Amino acid sequence: MTVVPHTVNRLVIEVAGSFDEFRARFEEAVPQIDPSAIPDFVERRAPWDEVVAAAAEAAPHGFLIYWTAAATELMALAGDRGSCVSYLMGNHTIAERMYRHDPAVMLYAPLRAAIYTDVDGRVRFAIDQPSTVFDSSGTPEITEVGYELDKKIAALLTALDAPAPDVLGAASRDRSHE
């Protein structure tokens, strides 16, 4: 048995616009994966370079949505007024670059993200910083992909007109001095 303690940075970013507006922008920038794509690739035993090319074409910012859960309507039954939708987002071709070193990375890939309104009605986007999540593997190659994902998250936030926390770039800069 192994116990792996680790610290994760949760990034909570206030975003402009309404919940519905930001959700629509996010889902346009991070499209839902075609549910037939992966079974089709597996059934045909498609070459990996075809899978990589299809993911690159489908994910304009490097990420796809694999799963969505909208909690708003269900929680409203209890009288809650907040809005929330959570996602599993990622890219299977990026995940493979970690998986080859340790399949246990699938505990955190795809990444979890949420768009919600806080108790004061502000719209927030939350995600755990990938480099801090994947660093727990103890494998430098996996951690490096985590830093790459930090940069992709920063670029996505910028594309969504949302502030990108400095920590998303600082992690890779700090490592360059090691």
| pLDDT at res. 118 | 92
Structural domain 10-175, CATH architecture: 2-Layer Sandwich (3.30)
| pLDDT at res. 173 | 42
Within 8 A by CB and 6+ apart from 143, the residues are 131, 134, 135, 137
| pLDDT at res. 174 | 47
Q: Which residues of the chain have pLDDT under 70?
A: 170-178
| pLDDT at res. 172 | 46
Domain ranges of the chain: 10-175
CA distances from 35 to 19, 57, 99 (A): 26, 15, 21
Tokens at 131, concatenated:
């480099």
Place of tokens 């929680």: 75
| pLDDT at res. 85 | 98
| pLDDT at res. 169 | 86
Pairwise CA distance, residues 178 & 173, whole Å: 10
